[in-house]
């Protein structure tokens, strides 16, 4: 069932779980994610960032929307890391039920102005808006934008930002980075800042770039009020590691229905693990489907 982010995450906020947002980008990963979520009765967010949408084009959004309508679990189709009024308008026309405007690299005042403008466009159409303050780092292999320096979100800034922009959800910087972390690097989340932000703003918080963070920290962040966690690198890494092996083992394979199932199963393991880690399994029961 298709819905917007506000509808989806108000339930998660009340019941202390987080919904995974998967950057699916291709049909095979879309099917893998939907299959897992139906099996585990888990609400889910399908998301595409601007570079991903440029690659697969708007017709894939229609495919995601159709998958959402057919699914027996709540589904949001979300535009990840929108950067301009133009690409947000394109996303709205394509049918996304939620959009992110990431103006976090501008000054705080400019971020408020840009984000508020998008909220004024999206809300009358029933489309939810995610904003971001503080920055999320960038590790290797990530298409997503970020900075080398992670800056932590100030709780007072978060309060003012939410009040003045009217965003439905807020992405915060508490020490995560996009992409896969270098081997041996163990990031540490500042969970005390997370609690302070949640107490001030109350709305669902979003974690980007949590692929390499220890499971216990992620589980704790969910308990403290994170309700959406973006997952991209972990899932794709499992998928492509397996695909490389399968293709090398049998160089004659050419039917997609033969080539992909092994890799889909490898991705499924990651997806299932994240759903359980985020306490998202079986939460479809809280929604009227």
Candidates 118-126, 203-211, 237-245, 267-275; binding stretch for Zn ion (CB under 5 A)? 203-211
Binding to Zn ion, residues 157-176 (CB under 5 A): none
In whole angstroms, how close is the CB of 81 to Zn ion at the nearest point?
6
| Residue nearer to Zn ion on the CB measure, 208 or 268 | 208
In whole angstroms, how close is the CB of 189 to Zn ion at the nearest point?
15
Candidates 36-44, 84-92, 205-213, 240-248; binding stretch for Zn ion (CB under 5 A)? 205-213
Candidates 16-24, 88-96, 206-214, 246-254; binding stretch for Zn ion (CB under 5 A)? 206-214
Q: Minimal CA–CA distance to 239: which of 265, 258, 272?
A: 265
CA atoms of 113 and 166, how far apart (whole Å):
11
User: Is residue 78 involved in binding Zn ion (CB under 5 A)?
Assistant: no
Q: Minimal CA–CA distance to 232: which of 80, 90, 96, 130?
A: 80
Choice from 78, 116, 198, 208 touching Zn ion (CB under 5 A): 208
278 phi and psi, to 5 degrees?
A: -85, 0
Burial class (CB in 10 A: 0-12, 13-18, 19+), 38: middle
Q: Per the residue annotation, which of 35, 54, 58, 80 is the catalytic one?
A: 80
In whole angstroms, how close is the CB of 288 to Zn ion at the nearest point?
30
Q: Is 97 helix (H, G, I), strand (E, B) or coil?
A: coil
Beta carbons of 132 and 83 less than 8 angstroms apart? no
137 phi and psi, to 5 degrees?
A: -70, 170
| Residue nearer to Zn ion on the CB measure, 144 or 168 | 144
Residue sitting closest to Zn ion (CB): 208
Residue 280 among the catalytic residues: no
Which stretches within the chain are classed as H helix? 5-15, 27-39, 50-56, 59-70, 85-94, 108-122, 155-165, 191-201, 215-223, 233-249, 256-259, 261-277
| Residue nearer to Zn ion on the CB measure, 144 or 234 | 144
| Residue nearer to Zn ion on the CB measure, 96 or 260 | 96
Give the contact letters, 115-154, x = binds to Zn ion (CB under 5 A), - = no: -----------------------------x----------
206 phi and psi, to 5 degrees?
A: -125, 135
Residues near Zn ion (CB under 5 A) are: 144, 208
Residues catalogued as catalytic: 80
């Amino acid at each position: 069932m298709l819905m917007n982010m506000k509808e989806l995450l108000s339930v998660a906020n009340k019941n202390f779980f987080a919904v995974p947002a998967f950057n699916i980008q291709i049909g095979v990963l879309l099917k893998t994610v939907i299959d897992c979520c139906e099996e585990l009765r888990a609400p889910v967010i399908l998301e595409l960032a601007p570079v991903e949408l440029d690659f697969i084009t708007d017709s894939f959004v229609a495919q995601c929307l159709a998958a959402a309508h057919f699914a027996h679990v709540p589904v949001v189709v979300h535009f990840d890391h929108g950067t301009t009024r133009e690409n947000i308008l394109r996303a709205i026309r394509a049918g996304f039920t939620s959009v992110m405007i990431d103006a976090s690299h501008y000054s705080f005042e400019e971020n408020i102005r840009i984000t508020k403008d998008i909220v004024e466009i999206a809300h009358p159409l029933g489309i939810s808006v995610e904003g971001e303050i503080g920055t999320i780092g960038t590790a290797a292999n990530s298409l997503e934008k970020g900075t080398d320096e992670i800056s932590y979100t100030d709780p007072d800034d978060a309060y003012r930002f939410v009040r003045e922009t009217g965003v439905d959800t807020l992405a915060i910087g508490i020490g995560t980075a996009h992409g896969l972390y270098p081997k041996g690097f163990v990031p540490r989340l500042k969970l005390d800042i997370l609690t302070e932000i949640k107490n001030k703003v109350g709305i669902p918080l979003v974690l980007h770039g949590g692929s390499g963070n220890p499971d216990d920290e992620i589980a704790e962040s969910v308990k403290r009020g994170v309700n959406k966690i973006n997952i991209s690198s972990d899932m794709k890494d499992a998928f492509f590691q397996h695909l490389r092996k399968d293709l090398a083992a049998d160089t004659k394979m050419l039917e997609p229905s033969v080539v992909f199932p092994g890799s889909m199963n490898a991705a499924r393991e990651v997806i299932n693990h994240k759903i359980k880690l985020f306490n998202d399994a079986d939460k479809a029961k809280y929604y009227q489907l």
